[in-house]
Amino acid sequence: QQPVQSPQAVILREGEDAVINCSSSKALYSVHWYRQKHGEAPVFLMILLKGGEQKGHDKISASFNEKKQQSSLYLTASQLSYSGTYFCGTAGTGNQFYFGTGTSLTVIP
Amino acid sequence: EPEVTQTPSHQVTQMGQEVILRCVPISNHLYFYWYRQILGQKVEFLVSFYNNEISEKSEIFDDQFSVERPDGSNFTLKIRSTKLEDSAMYFCASSVQGNGYTFGSGTRLTVV
């Protein structure tokens, strides 16, 4: 039930781009993306509610392919503040909500 | 900005003791959740709560766990007889369905 994310970890230099993928074996009704800094709670980034939807916030955007049961998070021109662990979260029917396996992102100067 | 408040921030307890973790969700949110995160691992779903009853629970949420909304504002997680493996960060979250979940800052539970 837990969505699988790839890659598990990525190291970027400031200004580089990254893509984080989230894939589920179950039908998806929505996809959420969160970022968690070490020792802190996850912070909501965005939610995608329907297939084909794309959203963006600052230089972070995401897409949702409902048919493939996948979502991708795009980070462009990364900043040091982007460092953290990124989790996708997927909702099926009812109130089940499961976080993905996580992707550790480290941005270095 | 509205926030989810959790207390205490850190709780140390002896194995076998009961603990109650407290959460005050955002006032107009209707869905409430508990998650747990063992240090360095993924965030795990425990339970969701809506309309004064459990709506979903995971296999982790066994008979030693219970949740309650005793007074319309607090949302509590009780662990009846703690085990060493219950040591983790416990996050409360609330949502208006269809929107993102807002998480509290967490309670670090240490069972010794």
* DSSP 3-state percent helix, strand, coil across chain A (nearest 5): 5, 55, 40
CA distance A14 to chain B (A): 25
Chain B: residue whose CA lies nearest to A93: B56
CA distance B66 to chain A (A): 17
Look at residue A92 in the predicted model and tell me its pLDDT: 61
Look at residue B112 in the predicted model and tell me its pLDDT: 96
Look at residue A95 in the predicted model and tell me its pLDDT: 59
Instruction: Report CB contact under 8 Å: B48, A47.
Output: no
Q: With beta carbons under 8 A apart, name residues in chain A contacting B44.
A: 99
Task: Give pLDDT tens digits for B18-59.
Answer: 999 999 999 889 899 999 999 878 888 899 898 889 988 888
Task: Give pLDDT tens digits for A21-63.
Answer: 999 888 777 888 999 998 888 888 888 877 667 777 778 999 9
Bigger pLDDT: B105 vs A95: B105
Cα→Cα distances B44→A16, A19, A58, B40, B89, Å: 31, 24, 29, 12, 10
